[in-house]
Amino acid sequence: MTSTTVHLAVYDTFADWETGHITAHLTQNGFTVRTVGPTTEPVTTMGGLRIQPDLALDELDPADSRMLILAGAHLWDTGDDLAPFAAKARAFLDAAVPVAAICGATAGIAREGLLDDRAHTSAVPFYLDATGYKGGEHYRDADAVTDGDLITAGPTEPVAFAREVFARLGVYEGEKLDAWYRLFRDSDASAYEILSS
């Protein structure tokens, strides 16, 4: 299962639009996306969709995954409900399995200390400063940042976030990765021919 399985964390108020490009293109390219929730009880996304998680967080083993993807959610900023997901991200990174975090999830992993010594980005620097983390000197003003096994992105950058995930997993590479990004970021029709060849 580890060769093609990617885990997508889902929880109440999950920002469902932030991972749509990722899940669609992973599935079309031979990957299996499994959802992992706090439990296996259904969750409701920010868009009002109900998702039945495939497994509970305490069942998730990094050895069974190629990557853990954490999207934003109101819950990242309103308490500690999602702290176990940040702790699981630590377990993934400790096991050398990549983690990708966007939007509010960057604050969650900042609180966990995972951004203290890695290059990263988020919405704006002061958003992460409010977490009390110690990684401000590593903040990059960029759409998305990859530092080893950790990918971060700001809330308005789901396409750049997807690009970094695809690069890390080898879904698209080189000219095709660039074409995918130009097609979905810029609506560059000339990129379609490259991508479909």
Q: What confidence tens digit (pLDDT) does each residue in 100-113 have?
A: 999 999 999 999 99
| Full-model pTM | 0.96
Nearest to 132, CA basis, from 147, 112, 118: 112
Beta strands in 77-118 (DSSP E): 99-102
What is the tens place of the pLDDT at every residue in 13-69? Answer: 999 999 999 999 999 999 999 999 999 999 999 999 999 999 999 999 999 999 999
Question: Domains in the chain, ordered, with CATH?
Answer: 5-172 (3.40.50.880)
Residue 60 has which token pair?
Answer: 């998730």
CB neighbour class for 34 (10 Å; exposed up to 12, middle 13-18, buried from 19): middle
Rg (CA), the chain: 16
CB neighbour list of residue 193: distance below 8 Å, 6 or more residues apart: none
Task: Summarize pLDDT for 171-182 with one digit per residue, the tens.
Answer: 999 999 999 999
Supply the residues annotated as catalytic.
Answer: 103
Q: pLDDT tens across 86-96, in order?
A: 999 999 999 99
The alpha carbon torsion through 155, 157, 160, 165 (nearest 10 deg) reads 30
Residue 170's Cβ-count burial label (10 Å; 0-12, 13-18, 19+) is: exposed
